[in-house]
């Protein structure tokens, strides 16, 4: 199976602009939303319920905090609290969870799965696969203009040598549209998963809306691929 999915973090109100573009190009997605965020506004609960009528809503902690703390009480407040809050708000148990800023540890992963979440999305880039059986899944590209140096540093930090080799095959380019073409073809050939992600506040700050629409136009409406929400990566 060849799949395409997208995910969007932080619950910024401009997520509705992303949602409109996803629907325009028949692309699925998951929106990871915290209950509050000191750095940026978060949509209201009424807006979250409205968005949930069209797309999957995933957990992103209660207060959008980095999970680099091993205390059980901290996990309970931020992860279990998020699971229960979304369940009560949406009337169904949430499936997917993403750690803010991509920061986590193995105790946090174990606790998150024990809580009831079944899919954990990371911020690992340049990976056109669905991840592994533990429910922890990578991403392929972020809607952001990273440098080639940043991509290499990211992969080396995570010891992703296979992904480094794959990235070298792209010519080590930092051009976002070229990377989309390259990894879409890799997904097609290897029957993997092309996973696009980003933040609407970041897209807004860096004037990347035209880039996002170009990408969605390229990856959307293609009968070769199955378009899925993150929750479907479990299988």
Which two three-digit tokens encode residue 100? Answer: 């803010």
**Across residues 179-185, what is the average pLDDT?**
97
Instruction: Please give the structure tokens belonging to residue 57.
Output: 């809503």
Whole-number pLDDT of residue 132: 66
Above 70 in pLDDT, residue 80?
A: yes
Pairing outcome for strands 193-198 and 3-9: parallel
DSSP 59: E
Q: Closest Cα partner for 168 from 158, 188, 156, 131?
A: 156
Q: What are the beta bridge partners of residue 197?
A: 7, 142
Check pLDDT > 80 for residue 133.
no
| Whole-number pLDDT of residue 68 | 85
Query: Does position 189 have pLDDT exceeding 90, yes or no?
Result: yes
pLDDT tens-digit series, residues 17-34: 999 999 999 999 999 999
DSSP structure string for 134-182: TSEE--SEESS---HHHHHHHHHHTT-HHHHHHHHTTTS---HHHHHHH
State the Cα–Cα distance between residues 36 and 44, nearest whole angstrom.
Answer: 10
Residue 198, helix vs strand vs coil: strand
pLDDT score for 215: 98
CA distance to 40, 137, 175, 182, per residue, from 178 (Å): 31, 23, 5, 6
CATH class (in words) of the domain with range 3-234: alpha beta
Phi-psi category of residue 53: left, alpha or beta, with phi > 0 → left and psi -120 to 50 → alpha: alpha
Least confident of 81-90, 109-118, 128-137, 224-233: 128-137
pLDDT of amino acid 161: 87
Could you state, in order of their start, the residue ranges of all structural domains in the chain? 3-234
pLDDT per residue as tens digits for the range 191-206: 999 999 999 999 999 9
**In the predicted structure, residue 128 carries a pLDDT above the cut 70:** yes
Tokens of 211: 């880039």
Confidence of residue 70 (pLDDT cuts 50, 70, 90): confident
- Residue 135, pLDDT above cutoff 80: no
| DSSP assignment letter at 25 | T
């Amino acid at each position: 199976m060849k799949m395409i999915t997208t995910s969007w973090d932080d619950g910024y109100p401009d997520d509705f602009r992303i949602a409109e573009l996803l629907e325009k190009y028949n692309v699925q997605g998951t929106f990871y939303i915290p209950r509050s965020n000191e750095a940026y506004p978060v949509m209201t609960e009424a807006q979250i319920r409205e968005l949930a009528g069209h797309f999957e809503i995933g957990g992103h902690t209660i207060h959008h905090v980095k999970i680099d703390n091993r205390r059980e009480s901290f996990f309970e407040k931020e992860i279990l609290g998020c699971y229960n809050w979304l369940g009560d708000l949406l009337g169904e148990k949430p499936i997917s969870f993403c750690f803010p800023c991509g920061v986590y540890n193995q105790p946090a992963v174990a606790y998150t799965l024990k809580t009831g979440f079944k899919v954990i999305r990371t911020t690992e880039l340049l990976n056109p696969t669905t991840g592994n059986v533990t429910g922890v899944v990578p991403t392929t590209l972020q809607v952001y203009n990273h440098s080639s140096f940043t991509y290499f540093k990211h992969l080396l930090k995570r010891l992703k040598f296979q992904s480094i080799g794959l990235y070298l095959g792209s010519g080590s380019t930092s051009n976002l549209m070229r990377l989309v073409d390259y990894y879409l073809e890799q997904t097609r050939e290897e029957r993997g998963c092309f996973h696009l992600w980003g933040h609407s506040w970041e897209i807004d700050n860096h004037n990347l809306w035209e880039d996002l629409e170009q990408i969605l136009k390229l990856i959307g409406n293609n009968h070769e691929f199955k378009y899925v929400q993150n929750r479907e990566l479990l299988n």
